[in-house]
Chain A
Amino acid sequence: MSAGPETVAECIGALRSGAVTSAELLDRTRARIAALDPRVNSFLGLTDALADEAAEEADRRLRSGAEDLPPLCGVPVAVKDVLCLEGAETTAGSRILAGFRPPYTATAVGRLLDAGAVMVGKTNCDEFAMGSSNENSAYGPVRNPWDLERVPGGSSGGSAAAVAARMVPLTMGTDTGGSIRQPAALCGVVGFKPTYGRVSRYGLIAFASSLDQVGPFALSVEDAALGYHVIAGHDPLDGTSSPTAVEDPLQGLREGVDGLRLGVPREYFGEGLDPGVRAATERALEVLGSLGATLEEVSLPSTDAALSTYYVIAPAEASSNLARYDGIRFGLREDHPSLLQTYLHTRDAGFGAEVKRRIMLGTYALSSGYYDAYYRKAQKVRTLIAEDFARVFERVDALVSPTSPVTAFPLGAHSDPLSMYLLDVLTVPVNLAGLPGVSVPCGLVDGLPTGLQVIAPRFMDARALRVAHAYEQATDWHTLRPGGVEARAS
């Protein structure tokens, strides 16, 4: 069924040996998108001219036999539509930014381009990255390649689905409360959220600035490590970007888990965990044990409060960040004789229901009389959550858990917003503590993929990837292809 290289590593090998050209890879990518994406809806826009030019340049470099080729020379990639690319429509999945063409390029995107990647297009997502199902996009939901009647997860659903359906080997998403790891789990691919501060947020359309982080989706941990390594590192244009040196994640990737101590947080196996997901995770823990890791139950007692903490802090920051959409300098404007009415009508017409809900929730939590009870309180509980992790990391090298308590659910299954929020329970603590977290495929439950989450201490991104890689290489879940979209494509 497959023809030619699929993973990033395979693409790089084939490009450098001359077995394939970048132009051929780009043609194949476009053919896959044309055949599958009318059903999956993972792309909001294609950057054809830019891609043609980049592929041509990559092929020229590859033909020249130069030895200092950039790491992703000629590899097709795509990025979530919250990342700015100069001149290319960037909407964040929102009507309020329809037609917006950024005057500059996000640092993470620029680093991909500098690494020789061929930018194919912008991927669909929940509006302003707010959601866990991709049903909040103003441009229609993304569908899960494993079952087109189900969601791909969110908010980076397009980036996850495009990799799962083998349209592109590498995409970038963003993760504020699980928006890379959860869709990776639900689509059966690898998704990695780096340590907060590891990847520049410059040119990333802000949702919750103290939590947002950019990271890769790929078909293997090695590919995710390659993509991460390209975008990681200090950026003077982002004051929260860390100046600490980036550890090469490929260096120790194959060192395995023999002798590592892995913590299993008991609170992550509680009520609401699907029995099939639990069983798959427990089998994954056995695999890690058989590879020489020591598994140890640990406790993160503040886990219970993490979801509430997140759903105060993230909306509060969002309500402030989204104040900029006022119809004056960019985006939609609903003209009205008075300025106040222009604001009110512009924002009512431009934002979707979930974004309005979070702006309202955040404004409420920050408003006079409620600030101490909600926002300040949540910031204090955030301290406790970070301390929980710090305490267990004195004893263990990394934590392992399920990524999402459930597998992909049918579109429309969670019409009650609170019931959707509750699905983020296993991913939000990692953002609140600023830790690196990776999701790697660890099984099928009733034919749908599920993911194992590996969490490491801050700036131990390479260790998280190493544990995930060891598990991945001992199993073949990451090689399974989604049946839903292939069956109908042929």
Chain B
Amino acid sequence: MPLTDDEVAHVAMLARLGLTEEERARLAVELGAIIDHVSALERVDTSAVAETAHIGGMVNVWREDVERPPIDRAAALANAPDQDGSCFRVGAIQEER
């Protein structure tokens, strides 16, 4: 069953994905079909089953709390779309009133 346009728009906003109207319409149908398929999981009895988040079985891996040389600042900034030599530069994060 296709998702509604409202559902697609809601999920897209959660995912911070700007989508065109055309993309939303296509995704409503495609996601609907995929979700119908994976809904088969409902039929599996998992009443007495624990979740597996991770297969390794490892817990709380620690390292010694010692200083290590950090990544060079220039190298860290080298890929930034915009920077001022010491910081990433971004637009205002508060809307003007």
A interface, CB within 8 angstroms of B: 99-101, 103-104, 196-197, 210, 236, 239-240, 242, 302, 304-305, 308-309, 311-312, 319, 323, 326-333, 335-345, 347-348, 351, 353, 356-357, 359-361, 363-364, 367, 373-374, 376-384, 386, 416-418, 421, 432-434, 458
Q: Do the beta carbons of B76 and A356 come within 8 Å of each other?
A: no
Give the dominant DSSP class at B's interface.
loop
B70 to chain A, nearest CB (A): 11
Decide: A312 and B41 in contact? CB cutoff 8 A: yes
- The number of chain B residues with a CB under 8 A from chain A is 52
B79 touches A329 (CB 8 A): yes
Enumerate chain A residues within 8 angstroms of B63, measured Cβ to Cβ: 236
Closest-CB distance, B44 to chain A (whole angstroms)? 5
A210 to chain B, nearest CB (A): 5
Contact B52 A379 (CB under 8 A): yes
B91 CB–A CB distance under 8 Å: yes
Which interface residue of B46, B58, B61, B75 has the most chain A CB atoms within 10 A? Answer: B46
Work out how many contacts link A and B, with CB atoms closer than 8 A.
Answer: 173
A335 vs B89: C-alpha distance when bound (angstroms): 11
Question: Nearest Cβ distance between residue B45 and chain A, in whole angstroms?
Answer: 9
A345–B38 Cα gap in the complex (Å)?
A: 30
Chain A residues, CB < 8 A from B79:
99-101, 103, 329-331
Question: Contact between A383 and B14 (Cβ–Cβ < 8 Å)?
Answer: no
Cβ–Cβ contact B80 & A347, under 8 A: no
Given contacts A196-B55, A196-B56, contact A101 B17 (CB under 8 A): no
Contact B81 A384 (CB under 8 A): no
**Interface residue ranges, B against A (CB under 8 Å):** 8, 10-12, 14-20, 23, 27, 30-31, 33-35, 37-42, 44, 46, 49-56, 58, 61, 63, 71-72, 75-76, 78-82, 88, 90-93, 95
**Please, how many angstroms separate the alpha-carbon atoms of A433 and B81 in the complex?**
40
**Could you tell me if A357 and B31 are in contact, using CB atoms closer than 8 angstroms?**
yes
A384 x B49 contact (CB < 8 A): yes
State the CA gap A336–B30 with chains docked (Å).
30
For residue A100, which residues in chain B have a CB less than 8 angstroms away from its CB?
79
Inter-chain contact A339/B92, CB cutoff 8 Å: yes
Report yes or no: B41 in contact with A374, Cβ–Cβ below 8 A: yes
Asked if B49 and A343 make an inter-chain contact with CB atoms under 8 angstroms apart, the answer reads: no
Q: Which residues of A contact B71 (CB under 8 A)?
A: 103-104
In the complex, chain B residues whose CB is within 8 Å of the CB of A418: 30, 33-34, 37
| Residues of chain B within 8 A of A338, CB atoms compared | 91-92, 95
A-B pairs with beta carbons under 8 Å apart, 24 shown: A239-B61, A308-B37, A312-B38, A329-B79, A329-B80, A329-B88, A335-B82, A335-B91, A336-B91, A337-B91, A338-B95, A339-B92, A348-B18, A351-B17, A353-B23, A360-B27, A364-B31, A364-B35, A367-B11, A374-B38, A379-B51, A381-B46, A386-B52, A418-B34
